[in-house]
Amino acid sequence: MKYKNLVNGEWKESEKEIKIYSPINDEELGSVPSMTREEVDYAMETAKIALGGWRSLAVVERAKYLYKAAEILERDKEIIGTVLAKEVSKGIKAAISEVVRTADLIRYSAEEGLRSVGEIVEGGSFEAASKRKVAMVRKEPMGLVLAIAPFNYPVNLSASKIAPALIGGNVVLFKPPTQGAISGLLLVKAFHEAGIPAGVINTVTGKGSEIGDYLIAHPLVDFINFTGSTPVGKRIGELAGMRPILLELGGKDGAIVSDDADLEKAAKDIVSGAFSYSGQRCTAIKRVLVMESVADKLAGLIKAEVEKLTVGDPFENADITPLIDNRAADFIEGLIEDAQEKGAKALTQIKREKNLLWPVLFDHVTLDMRIAWEEPFGPVLPLIRIKSLDEAIEICNGSEYGLQTSVFTKNIVQAFDIAGKLEVGTVQINNKTQRGPDNFPFLGIKGSGVGVQGIKYSIESMTKIKSIVIDL
Ligand code: NAP
Ligand code: G3H
């Protein structure tokens, strides 16, 4: 199947194409166009032309397209979910849930857009100001939003940019991940079928390493909304110049386990947090910092949970499935070997078949090991034993990342005290690190990002205020 780009309301091929294979079994799934710079220019120009008409629609009119697109996605959840499961090796149940979650996200974006009105500010609060002075504070679109999404949620993390951008009156140039491009294009197909006007969403497929810089530096782009790795995010920061950006990047989320925690619950949450989708989540728990006094017990409980995980085929809903590619598996293997050489104790077998890695649990991980600091984006979990909660906070804050941290303790005052000291966007108390629900603010600091997502916050990020002042 030859998939095409949506540009100015038409599905277009390019001379060159990229073949997409499934990471599960190398099945050829189809091809997507590899766009040229001239084709990118045309997509940008037609989007800019569409901006005037789209931003001048009443928000209730824009919302109708979003509701319709959500309905279509939900109708096609099994078709799209099946492609998604094959394309990024995600469990079929989780893949279909991703499509349903996305339909909900699009609907909620429409609702939030309807709620997100401007305000009137009256003068008179300051001596020098006339009380007859009034400011009408309006929210206006940024213009052309460049949305770039990662492979791990090719439908949901794409829509989490597209829907809030559109409801805010922006037009979107969407670049899906190459591995995940078919799923991304099927998402856009739902908007097209919903009748969204030509040019309001245009798509660009092609390898980020080849067209990424050109897209980011393009003078017609007004706002860049990116989710992906920290190195690419940093590059975007360099190229963006004065233009506003929203970056959601990598993480090294820790789970701090106090000696008074409910260890059974902590072990279950940690394993689900660390190993869902084989650890390929920005919010995966990527290290456990456990008080020495309960470390043996927690390690045993986590090991027992890891041993329950199934490994294999996404279409049999295995917990651990083939990773996105061999390169990812090689990188993780490097982290595993480094940890073994430096004396970490593997509590599970270490086994690999091509890009399928069995889940690995390491105990006695020390701070000189790469696995203590680097993001594996795969099924490996290090346990670091700590002597005090202050030490755990220091290790967490020593990370280049600042996405989320979990704190497991029965002492709620202690939990809030730790939460206040952690340098992260979100602290989860007695739960795994996670993004949802999608109306919550979601952000990373330091190497984990810039700006805030979450439906309402994404709309705010992708709109700007205009104040119109008059003396009545
Ligand atoms: P990635 O390699 O950074 O790719 C992300 C997107 O950027 C893809 O669409 C990719 O296109 C594109 N890209 C690559 N090079 C580019 C360049 N020079 N200029 C512009 N775009 C470029 O990340 P990934 O492997 O897909 O995703 C895994 C990473 O994303 C992890 O670090 C994870 O933590 C992070 N992530 C963060 C969040 C969050 O919300 N904080 C959520 C999900 C994932 P191609 O596919 O064509 O290369
Ligand atoms: O990979 C990063 C995603 O934003 C994580 O989302 O916590 O809902 O799995 P999630």
Look up the CATH number of the domain holding residue 58. Answer: 3.40.605.10
Pairing of strands 144-148, 223-227: parallel
Q: Is 442 inside a domain boundary?
A: no
- Calpha distance 296→206 (Å, rounded): 49
The lowest-confidence range among 131-135, 235-239, 320-324 is 131-135
Query: Residues 429, 365: one domain?
Result: yes
Pairing of strands 463-471, 133-141: antiparallel
- Calpha distance 234→56 (Å, rounded): 34
Name the residue of 282, 283, 458 whose CB sits within 8 Å of the most ligand 1 atoms, as the mutation to test its pocket. 282
The lowest-confidence range among 40-49, 114-123, 272-281 is 114-123
Residue 132: both structure tokens together: 């007859």
Q: Is the pLDDT of residue 117 over 90?
A: no
Q: What percent of the chain has pLDDT over 90?
A: 97
For ligand 1, the distance from its centroid to the CA atom of residue 92, given in whole angstroms, is 22
Name the residue of 249, 323, 442 whose CB sits within 8 Å of the most ligand 1 atoms, as the mutation to test its pocket. 249
- Calpha distance 334→179 (Å, rounded): 23
Answer yes or no: is the C-beta of 86 below 6 A from any ligand 2 atom.
no
Strand partners, 100: none
pTM of the shown model: 0.97
CB distance 142 to 462 below 8 Å:
yes
Residue 142: both structure tokens together: 């940024």
CB distance 283 to 251 below 8 Å:
yes
pLDDT tens digits, 288-319? 999 999 999 999 999 999 999 999 999 999 99
Residue 455: both structure tokens together: 């439906």
Pairing of strands 401-402, 356-357: unpaired
Residue 343: both structure tokens together: 């004396």
**Residue of 39, 98, 248, 305 with catalytic role:** 248
φ and ψ at residue 377, rounded to 5 degrees: 55, 50
For residue 132, the model assigns a pLDDT of 86
Q: Is 330 inside a domain boundary?
A: yes
CA angle 174, 175, 176 (to 5 degrees): 110
Q: What is the mean pLDDT of residues 319-338?
A: 98
Average pLDDT of the chain is 97
- At 184, which amino acid appears? G
Answer yes or no: is the C-beta of 156 below 6 A from any ligand 2 atom.
no
Q: Is 208 inside a domain boundary?
A: yes
The lowest-confidence range among 36-40, 126-130, 368-372 is 126-130
- Calpha distance 441→89 (Å, rounded): 28
**Residue of 87, 112, 282, 396 with catalytic role:** 282
Residue 393: both structure tokens together: 């906070």
Query: Residues 124, 200: one domain?
Result: yes
Ligand 1 neighbours (beta carbon < 6 A): 148-152, 157, 175, 177-178, 207-209, 212-213, 216, 227-229, 232, 235, 248-251, 282, 375, 377, 403, 444, 448-449
Residue 62: both structure tokens together: 């824009």
User: Helix, strand, coil % (nearest 5) of the chain?
Assistant: 40, 25, 35
Run of H or E residues at 133: strand 133-141
Query: Residues 422, 337: one domain?
Result: yes
Query: Residues 290, 160: one domain?
Result: no
CB distance 245 to 451 below 8 Å:
yes
Run of H or E residues at 234: helix 230-240
**CA-derived radius of gyration, the chain:** 23
At residue 60 the predicted structure's pLDDT band, cuts being 50, 70 and 90, is very high
Answer yes or no: is the C-beta of 280 below 6 A from any ligand 2 atom.
no
Ligand with minimal distance to 277 CA: 2
Query: Residues 51, 189: one domain?
Result: yes
* Total number of domains in the chain: 2
At residue 125 the predicted structure's pLDDT band, cuts being 50, 70 and 90, is confident
For the question of residue 396 being annotated catalytic, the response is no
Q: Is 443 inside a domain boundary?
A: no
For residue 329, the model assigns a pLDDT of 98
Query: Residues 27, 131: one domain?
Result: yes
- Domain range spanning residue 124? 5-249+448-471
Query: Residues 307, 230: one domain?
Result: no
For ligand 1, the distance from its centroid to the CA atom of residue 232, given in whole angstroms, is 7
Q: Is 410 inside a domain boundary?
A: yes
- Calpha distance 45→60 (Å, rounded): 26
Residue 403's CB: how many other CB atoms inside 10 A?
30
Q: What percent of the chain has pLDDT over 70?
A: 100
Query: Residues 82, 40: one domain?
Result: yes
3-state DSSP assignment of residue 279 = helix
Query: Residues 86, 228: one domain?
Result: yes
At residue 153 the predicted structure's pLDDT band, cuts being 50, 70 and 90, is very high
| Closest residue to atom 19 of ligand 1, CA basis | 212
Q: Is 428 inside a domain boundary?
A: yes
At residue 21 the predicted structure's pLDDT band, cuts being 50, 70 and 90, is very high
For ligand 1, the distance from its centroid to the CA atom of residue 192, given in whole angstroms, is 25
Which of ligand 1's atoms lies nearest the C-alpha of 150? Answer: 26
Q: What is the mean pLDDT of residues 214-228?
A: 98
CA distances to 2, 130, 268 from 298, rounded to whole Å, are 50, 65, 10
Q: What is the mean pLDDT of residues 86-110?
A: 98
For ligand 2, the distance from its centroid to the CA atom of residue 88, given in whole angstroms, is 15
CA distances to 40, 60, 63, 422 from 229, rounded to whole Å, are 23, 35, 32, 22
Q: Is 49 inside a domain boundary?
A: yes
Query: Residues 265, 148: one domain?
Result: no
- Calpha distance 76→79 (Å, rounded): 5
CB distance 406 to 254 below 8 Å:
yes
For ligand 1, the distance from its centroid to the CA atom of residue 275, given in whole angstroms, is 20
Q: Is 102 inside a domain boundary?
A: yes
Residue 345's CB: how many other CB atoms inside 10 A?
13
Query: Residues 29, 148: one domain?
Result: yes
Q: Which residues contact 136 (CB under 8 A, 6 or more apart)?
A: 118, 120, 467, 468, 469, 470
Answer yes or no: is the C-beta of 283 below 6 A from any ligand 2 atom.
yes
Name the residue of 283, 285, 424, 452 whose CB sits within 8 Å of the most ligand 2 atoms, as the mutation to test its pocket. 283
CA angle 388, 390, 394 (to 5 degrees): 120
Q: Is the pLDDT of residue 128 over 90?
A: no
Residue 36: both structure tokens together: 């040229």
Q: Give the number of residues written for the chain.
A: 472
Run of H or E residues at 412: helix 412-421
For residue 181, the model assigns a pLDDT of 98
Supply the CATH number for residue 279's domain.
Answer: 3.40.309.10
Query: Residues 457, 404: one domain?
Result: no
